[in-house]
Amino acid sequence: MQVWQRQQQRRHRHFVGRLLICIVALLLVVGCGGTSGTGGNTPTPGPTATPGPRATQTGTTATSTPSAGTTVTPMPQPTRGTTPTPQPTPSPCDTPAGVQPVLASEIDIGNTDRQRIALTFDAGGPSEPTARILDILAQHHVHATFFITGDWANLNPDLVRRIYSEGHEISNHTMHHPDLRTLPDQGICTELNQADQVLSSLTGVTTRPYYRPPYGGRDDRVRNLSAHIGYRTVYWTIDTLDWQTTATSDSITRIVMDHLTNGAIILMHAGSQVESETLDGLMTKLEQMGYQMVTVTQVLQ
């Protein structure tokens, strides 16, 4: 009996031991079964969620990727590191139709290789002496250049027509005779364009390409703006000072003779009474010296 009991106890302990081994093995299998690729078992995939809009980061600008089947109008994106090009602002001195810009360099003397001089008359003040000056020029068969203001032309249209019909060169002296340096850009353009309109309506031809600034007042801005609308700045080589109240025939003649040179551009005034009294004798002296008196255009040739 005791032998049988001992055998039964041994069988019981052996069974319990195997049972424990199975339980431990089972626990190990269950504990590792959730790791993909372990134990040769592949877990069954769950349902796949439909992705929503995905943010794509480019630099600092986020853009959205739309879902399939959705049409999205793209918003314009700025380009990094690029500065927008500003649109040009129209110049107040835009060149009139058919007019070409000219050189901004100033003219104060002509061709020094030829024995020519240019007589130039500014017309912006009195007009009484002008007819006598035209008579003297005609007697000497000389053509001169007249720089005329628009106001003077409006007051003396017959004189303007006579100047042109007798072959003299008509150029621009502004509309109202201001110091152009004191005007804004638009004012400079307006002064020149208005004078040209008045004078061309009387003669049928433009005053371009020459103008003379009133009082000789000019600077780089004035020269550049006038050149942009087709006008070269014409200054002078010799100022006769015939506009001064102290001027005499002797003083005018002496100034010209003391500074005379080939290509000289001589400043006179169509409204100077003393000039009208001096001109005949002065021109005779110049002719005797072998000088040919011509227009600005001709003295530059």
* Domain annotation covers residue 98: no
Indicate whether 190 belongs to any domain. Answer: yes
- Give domain status of residue 207, yes or no: yes
Answer yes or no: 143 catalytic: no
Q: How confident is the model over 209-237, as pLDDT tens digits?
A: 999 999 999 999 999 999 999 999 999 99
Does pLDDT of 42 surpass 70?
no
Which domain does 287 fall in, by range?
A: 116-299
For 138-191, the pLDDT digits (tens) are 999 999 999 999 999 999 999 999 999 999 999 999 999 999 999 999 999 999
pLDDT at 239 over 50: yes
Check 122, 151, 196, 242 and give the catalytic one.
122
Query: How many domains, in total, are found in the chain?
Result: 1
Residue 43 belongs to a domain: no
Confidence check: pLDDT of 48 > 90: no
Considering 143, 168, 228, 269, which one is annotated as catalytic? 269
Report d(CA 179, CA 182) in Å as an integer.
Answer: 6
Look at residue 31 and tell me if it is in a domain.
Answer: no
- Over the stretch 251-274, which tens digit does the pLDDT of each residue have? 999 999 999 999 999 999 999 999
For residue 174, what is the domain's CATH number?
3.20.20.370
Determine, yes or no, domain membership for 71.
no
Residue 93 inside a domain? The answer is no
Residue 270 included in any domain:
yes
Is residue 219 part of the annotated active site? The answer reads no
Q: Which of 243, 301, 297 is nearest to 275 (CA)?
A: 243
pLDDT above 50 for 82? no
